[in-house]
Structure 1
Amino acid sequence: MNKTNAPWTIGSILTWTGQYFAEKGVENPRLDAEVLLSHILERERIQLYVNFDQPLQAHELTAYREAVKKRVARMPVAYITGCKEFMGLEFCVTPAVLIPRPDTEILVEAVLEKLHGFEQPALLDLGTGSGAIIVSLLANLPTATGVAVDISDQALVIAQNNAEKNQVASRLTLCQGDLYQPVTGQTFDAIISNPPYIPDQDIQELTQEVKQEPHLALAGGPDGLEFYRRIVRDAAHYLNTGGFLALEVGIHQAQAVAALAAPVEQLAFAGIIKDYGGIDRVVLFQRN
């Protein structure tokens, strides 16, 4: 950052950073500049606009420069700030967990709709990561209880933090293990998962930002369906009668995932829900 002797103000640093990010190919240059600066200054983005002429303190400028360097190196904004909003709640995130996506809110909303009428639903979240899905569900369902499973002990630390942060920890049990393995013998009213679904050969085609997210949370096997096969195959054993399974899927995967229920006794395909872009995003199955 080179400049004349005039002090950097909120307005001038945002203008400079937005241009710099654009030159470096950052996808949302102005937005990222604002989010990073609001994080450093610990104020809402709207407050930046009413304080454009405010000069930055030396320590603020130093911290912001470091954040800008990380973003140009393609570190995702959420990893730089350590937080991400999802379903109106704030979640802590680190490179140990997948960053919650807006698309996944479609999954949570679908589950909330399906659970209407359940008095004390028992929920299972497979591959919980940051805990965004199960914590959001419990925050919206005050009589529900949940179990969240992840193979990563680091992810479970983050999920526990987020459960406490959003005041649902007393109703959530976290288990380390591979899919259903930690919950053998238990049954639930709903099983929810956003499993890894990117075909192995497509991993190298991902953006530099996405490549910095956990490989375990992305790679779904040769065709991207490896985890879906295992989840659907055994779901009926862990669902109460009348319970359901809800899965987020990638683009062009919904029909293939829906077909997985055909050979499974006591589990039936129950529908597909599109996201706001018209893409098939959630596949539902019902326990008979």
Structure 2
Amino acid sequence: MASPNELTEQLTTLRDYIRWAVSEFTRAGIYYGHGTDNALDEALQLVLYSVAVPMGSEANLLDAQLTLIERQQVLGLIKRRVEERIPVPYITGVAWYAGLAFNVDERVLIPRSPIAELTEQGFEPWVSGRPLNRILDLCTGSGCIGIACAHYFEEASIDLADLSADALVVAESNISRYELNHRVTAIQSDVFAQLGGQVYDLIVSNPPYVDVEDLAAMPAEYQHEPAMALGSGEDGLDLCRQILREAAAYLSADGLLVVEVGNSCIALEQAFPDVAFTWLEFERGGHGVFVMTRDELLQYQSFFSE
């Protein structure tokens, strides 16, 4: 393998470094899934960030020569991605969700929930055109779901709740990023415990839901994410069970609950075989998201309380 000095002599253009990154990522067998699903998109994000070229504006710059310092910086970031298995958004400090950029670091999960697609569609047909005046993003992490809701529902007030004080620091930075302090509030809360009896028209949650077996088998990239935001008991459903038991008390009369449980959807149906969960389908991929009205939560309350 060529030395760094040899590489900086042989690779000179933006195109060269994108191609080199694709080859290195492919040879190393890195895991994609934190914003991209292939080596080229991963390379574009990392290389363009390293030379401060905005994504989507590279077409006319591909054959531009990089300075020696830029070449060294690019090689250093490619090396970190390969050797340390750090997801690109943790290197760049930015992740995209529902068409919006969010600050991220290792205090929060990297946004990737399919709920983004539902948000962009205004949660239709599930809200049936009803106004959503109060929205709760439960287990908010970076705040991406709630802040995206604020973007698409311009009149709504949104609470972002999380147990992690560290995560809420990141969420606060994203509230400030979009100048939403007047209608988006970050609250430290153990699920609903510190919400003071608030009532919401919509509760959206992407809680920890990875079971013990899947958590142990996750690629190395996931080891950089906060463990408390991933795992939730033996079957991944500890937090989800609590949400199902308690959510009705925090929903308005025609309120809606949206929860992501990912691969734990099978375990959820096995745990509650008499509950008719409504599972959503997504055009852009993703699974394991259910919707449930307040009336349905009350209907099945005896099962959730067992």
Alignment TM-score > 0.5, same fold: yes
Deviates more, 1:236-245 or 1:132-141: 236-245
Give the CA deviation at 1:4: 7.6
Q: Quick one: which of 83, 86, 105 aligns to 1:75?
A: 86
CA contact (8 A) 1:111 1:246 kept: no
Change (3 A) 1:109 1:13: closer
Q: Secondary structure at the match of 2:185?
A: strand
Q: Quick one: which of 192, 209, 225 aligns to 2:204?
A: 192
CA distance in 2, matches of 1:139, 1:58: 41
Look up the match of 1:274.
Answer: 281
Q: Does 1:55 align with 2:55?
A: no
Change (3 A) 1:251 1:276: farther
CA contact (8 A) 2:8 2:68 kept: no
Look up the match of 1:101.
Answer: 112
**5+ long unaligned stretches in structure 2:** 32-37, 296-306
Change (3 A) 1:283 1:46: closer
- Give me the TM-score of the superposition, normalised by structure 1: 0.89
- Give me the TM-score of the superposition, normalised by structure 2: 0.84
Give the CA deviation at 1:5: 4.1
What code does the residue aligned with 2:22 have?
A: G
Q: CA RMSD in A?
A: 2.5
CA distance in 2, matches of 1:157, 1:109: 25
Look up the match of 1:265.
Answer: none
**5+ long unaligned stretches in structure 1:** 263-267
Q: Does 1:26 align with 2:30?
A: yes
Q: Quick one: which of 2, 9, 13 aligns to 2:13?
A: 9
Give the CA deviation at 1:64: 1.5
Deviates more, 1:240-249 or 1:97-106: 97-106
Give the CA deviation at 1:254: 5.8
CA contact (8 A) 1:121 1:143 kept: yes
Q: Deviations over 1:17-66 (max 9, x none)?
A: 22122211124333222111111222234433322321111332232222
Look up the match of 1:183.
Answer: 195
Look up the match of 2:34.
Answer: none
- List structure 1 runs of 4+ shifted beyond 6 angstroms: none
Look up the match of 1:232.
Answer: 244
Q: Secondary structure at the match of 2:57?
A: helix
Identity of aligned residues (%): 31
Q: Does 1:170 align with 2:182?
A: yes
Change (3 A) 1:32 1:122: same
CA contact (8 A) 1:107 1:247 kept: no
Q: Does 1:247 align with 2:259?
A: yes
CA distance in 1, matches of 2:9, 2:258: 58
Q: Secondary structure at the match of 1:35?
A: helix
CA contact (8 A) 1:153 1:176 kept: yes
CA distance in 1, matches of 2:9, 2:88: 30
Look up the match of 2:303.
Answer: none
CA contact (8 A) 2:119 2:152 kept: no
Give the CA deviation at 1:207: 0.8
Look up the match of 2:75.
Answer: 65
Higher strand share: 1
CA distance in 2, matches of 1:286, 1:18: 46
